[in-house]
Structure 1
Amino acid sequence: MAAIKHVGIVGAGQMGRGIAEVCARAGLSVVLCDMTEERARAGLAGVADSLLRAEKRGALTHEERAHALAGIAVTGDLSRLAGADLVIEAAVEDEEAKTALFRQLDEVVTDPAAVLASNTSSIPIARLAAVTGRPEAVVGLHFFNPVPAMPLVEVISSLHTSKATELRVRAFAGDVLRKKTIMAQDRAGFVVNSLLVPYLLAAVRMVSSGTATAEDIDTGMTAGCAHPMGPLRLADLIGLDTVAAIGEALYEEYREPLYAPPPLLRRMVESGLLGRKSGRGFFSYETAAVGART
């Protein structure tokens, strides 16, 4: 089983740059790609800020920070990913956009042994694999936000994913990135979001119905259930557009009402109130994150 040394990441938003950071800190060679080089450079600036904060709190040395940053190249050209051992797609949570991207990656990534992975939060991997000529080498590799801090990665094999691909990415996530991995069936939402998103949507419905304020709902869950963060601040952190997209994917898969995004959530997304990344969601934030994605 060949070691993964060169990683391409498509999408330089919040999730993409977090994945780039953990890969670079593990000593891997990383190419961070977005629609334009300018957007990729903005993602790299976010990585640099995160690494500097890590150095200040003693999580890594100055030399380790410099080495990690030097290990990341940026580009707006997908062809720069041609020689990657592994490409991780971390683009917007939209099935049409992701399938179009996988078609391109299938043509661009020339190594037949290379793995194509998606960081999708909810879209079945089989749908992405179906547009490639190498479905056995397509897998889900779902990180959690913020990637440098969250220890979990979900690994999702489709019906076509080979056992060799599954073992290779589990070894990569577990042994190289030092993440805890769990296996999930190839169903919308996988393990975590199938449990989490109905909870978040229930909190939105409580606000909409006037059952309680956003502040009181979150206080109830942090002070009453010992959750580290309330459901509405968590939804703001994930991005309300992403929460809505995951809910739509879950509802399409299962047709259960608890998965359907409530009207309030839809109106907020339509109004550009996306949470932390836009500066306002269920709560207000002084500064918005740039290009945040999940």
Structure 2
Amino acid sequence: MTTEGSPHRLTVLGAGVMGTGITAMAVGHGVPVVLVDVDADALARARAEVLGKVRHARLMGTLPEDRAEGELVTTSSVGAECSDATAVVEATTEIPEMKAKALGEIAAAVPEGTPLISTTSGIPIDEMADWVPRPADLVGTHFMNPAYLINTVEMIRGPRTAESTMARATALLEAMARRVIVVRDAPGFVTSRLLHPMINAAARVVGEGTATVEDVDELMRGCLGHPVGPLRTADLIGIDNLVDSLVVLHERTGDESARPCELLLAKVREGNLGRKTGRGFYDYGRALS
């Protein structure tokens, strides 16, 4: 196993499902990561969750066998540990105010030219560019969940994103064996614009009593080739994250198909958010990382 150090050093903001998945992907490919989260409970769970995901990725054969794992540092604040990052991934909740705060803090801590990679699932990159002092450094990269297993990523170039930012972000992703597909900036981009209203429609069908959760997923799998079904996908994304993304999409496009349906909203109110809480559209018996 090679121990040669990676030229990349990553800071990840947010130790939720997506943040730990991206961290696992990076660590498993030999990239050292500083993982930041203000939630002490999330941070306390993060190391075990990341290492569990790395093990899962190894079992699935998605990590290089000849590369030592990158070092993982966890911290509750943006500080000196983050200052030498060669790239930053912002993976906080899909709430504009939270993303703006996180991006503003990290932009002040890293040198000019450090790519600020947002995992937003719906907010236009050019809208977010107003939140940072150096708009040229901001780029969107939409990872699919689980990020440590799915190797295709959607990269969104905003109107003010610099060519050097695109090149550096692409080099990082390719070092982690990711296939990058670049799209133009727009609310929801491609994947969220198509997937999230479809999940919303599936939940609406269940809420109206047309079919059960299981039957909707089985029809989408058996007839239309969806890998697991839209409602099981919702549980994997996190129903609260899905609702936040739909709200962003509805507000910015006016598309009524993106207005979160009552069944999704009810599950959020009840705290049944999917795999991470142990129950969503399906019952998982216990909370999963």
User: Does the pair score TM above 0.5?
Assistant: yes
Q: Which residue of 1 aligns with 2:211?
A: 212
Q: Which residue of 2 aligns with 1:39?
A: 42
Q: Which residue of 2 aligns with 1:93?
A: 94
Given residue 168 of structure 2, which amino acid in structure 1 is its aligned partner? R
Kindly state the Cα deviation for residue 4 of structure 1 after the two structures are TM-superposed.
5.4
Residue 90 to residue 58, structure 1, CA distance change in 2 (3 Å): closer
Q: In the aligned structure 1, how far is the partner of 2:261 from the partner of 2:192?
A: 17
Kindly state the Cα deviation for residue 289 of structure 1 after the two structures are TM-superposed.
2.3
| SS at structure 1 position matched to 2:198 | helix
Kindly state the Cα deviation for residue 77 of structure 1 after the two structures are TM-superposed.
2.1
Q: Which residue of 2 aligns with 1:257?
A: 256
Give CA-to-partner distance per residue, 1:8-53, whole Å, 9 cap, x none.
0111121111111221222222111111566334212111112233
| SS at structure 1 position matched to 2:165 | helix
**Greater relative contact order structure (CA < 8 Å, 6+ sep):** 1
Give CA-to-partner distance per residue, 1:88-130, whole Å, 9 cap, x none.
0111111110011111112122x11211111111111222221
Q: In the aligned structure 2, how far is the partner of 1:62 from the partner of 1:181?
A: 22
Given that 2:107 and 2:133 are in contact with CA atoms closer than 8 Å, whether structure 1 keeps it comes out as yes
Kindly state the Cα deviation for residue 78 of structure 1 after the two structures are TM-superposed.
0.7
Q: In the aligned structure 2, how far is the partner of 1:280 from the partner of 1:57?
A: 25
Pick from 17, 22, 25 the counterpart of residue 22 of structure 1: 25
Q: Matched residues, percent identical? A: 35
Q: In the aligned structure 1, how far is the partner of 2:231 from the partner of 2:23?
A: 27
Residue 7 to residue 57, structure 1, CA distance change in 2 (3 Å): closer
Given that 1:4 and 1:172 are in contact with CA atoms closer than 8 Å, whether structure 2 keeps it comes out as no
Instruction: Count matched residues.
Output: 283
Give CA-to-partner distance per residue, 1:179-206, whole Å, 9 cap, x none.
1111122212111111111111110110
Q: Which residue of 1 aligns with 2:3?
A: none
Given residue 131 of structure 1, which amino acid in structure 2 is its aligned partner? W
Q: Which residue of 2 aligns with 1:238?
A: 237
| SS at structure 2 position matched to 1:78 | coil
| SS at structure 1 position matched to 2:19 | helix
| SS at structure 2 position matched to 1:284 | coil
Query: Within 5 A, what are the aligned runs for 1:135-146?
Result: 135-146=135-146
Given that 1:36 and 1:75 are in contact with CA atoms closer than 8 Å, whether structure 2 keeps it comes out as no
Q: In the aligned structure 2, how far is the partner of 1:282 from the partner of 1:56?
A: 27
More deviation in 248-257 or 52-61? 52-61
Aligned-residue Cα RMSD (Å) equals 2.0
> Unaligned stretches of 5+ in structure 1?
none
Kindly state the Cα deviation for residue 87 of structure 1 after the two structures are TM-superposed.
0.7
Given that 1:9 and 1:90 are in contact with CA atoms closer than 8 Å, whether structure 2 keeps it comes out as yes
Q: In the aligned structure 1, how far is the partner of 2:159 from the partner of 2:23?
A: 28
Given residue 49 of structure 2, which amino acid in structure 1 is its aligned partner? G
Given residue 74 of structure 2, which amino acid in structure 1 is its aligned partner? V
Q: In the aligned structure 1, how far is the partner of 2:208 from the partner of 2:58?
A: 45
| SS at structure 1 position matched to 2:94 | coil
Given that 1:17 and 1:43 are in contact with CA atoms closer than 8 Å, whether structure 2 keeps it comes out as yes
More deviation in 162-171 or 8-17? 162-171
Q: Which residue of 1 aligns with 2:105?
A: 104
Kindly state the Cα deviation for residue 232 of structure 1 after the two structures are TM-superposed.
0.8
Q: In the aligned structure 2, how far is the partner of 1:115 from the partner of 1:59?
A: 25
Q: In the aligned structure 1, how far is the partner of 2:252 from the partner of 2:65?
A: 47
Query: Within 5 A, what are the aligned runs for 1:109-258?
Result: 109=110, 111-173=111-173, 175-258=174-257
Q: Which residue of 1 aligns with 2:278?
A: 279
> Unaligned stretches of 5+ in structure 2?
1-5
Q: In the aligned structure 1, how far is the partner of 2:88 from the partner of 2:30?
A: 16
Given residue 17 of structure 2, which amino acid in structure 1 is its aligned partner? Q
Q: In the aligned structure 2, how far is the partner of 1:4 from the partner of 1:89?
A: 20
